[in-house]
Amino acid sequence: MSEIKKQVLSANEAYAVDFGDKDQLPMPPGRGFAILTCMDARLDPAKYAGLAEGDAHVIRNAGGRASDDAIRSLVISHKLLGTNEWFVIHHTDCGMETFTDDIMRGLLHASLETSSVDETGWHDHGAGPGSHEGDFIDWLTISDQSQSVRADVARIKGHPLVPNDIPVHGYIYDCSSGKLIEVSDNA
């Protein structure tokens, strides 16, 4: 068993001891909203949005982008579980700003091993084989945080499965201060 697996299982044992009545939490989020945000480990939506277990849905992916799957989750969140307000929260210093679709595809062509980055860019160190399957994925990279938030909010608001009356708010989480900075709908 890996050391990480041991740590996770040990932490779970400690958590389960004090689980209490959390099994009584209802499936719909108690505060009726959802957050779409990045998977970056530095972000703790429970802390920066003041959440307790059962309060809100938190949907995470690379960049916090409004991908088809993220929209699928938001639609389920609303249609089946009653959320009626959504937040799109990107963040400063996001890894999705450090590469393009072409860079990612090139790295995947070379190998499937973990790459590294330095001041000269991304480098693949794997022995291969790689794959061309990444050619068919839109990696939803980010070149401008504010613009990507606006694009994601607009995509969600304009989606045919999203009711017009759901407020969708856009923010950038500042990794240096912990503050949420609102992104206006206007460029």
d(CA 169, CA 155): 12
Q: Along the 187 residues of the chain, how does pLDDT read in single tens digits?
A: 999 999 999 999 999 999 999 999 899 999 999 999 999 999 999 999 999 999 999 999 999 999 999 999 999 999 999 999 999 999 999 999 999 999 999 999 999 999 999 999 999 999 989 999 999 999 999 999 999 999 999 999 999 999 999 999 999 999 999 999 999 976 5
Would the pTM count as exceeding 0.85? yes
Q: What tokens were used for 34?
A: 């959802």
Radius of gyration of the chain (CA): 19
Contact 124, 114 (CB under 8 A): no
Strands 33-38 and 168-173, by their bridges, are: unpaired
Residue whose structure tokens are 């044992």: 13
What are the residue ranges of CATH 3.40.1050.10 in the chain?
30-98+140-187
Amino acid identity of residue 74, one-letter, is: L
What does DSSP assign to residue 115?
A: P
CATH code of domain 30-98+140-187? 3.40.1050.10
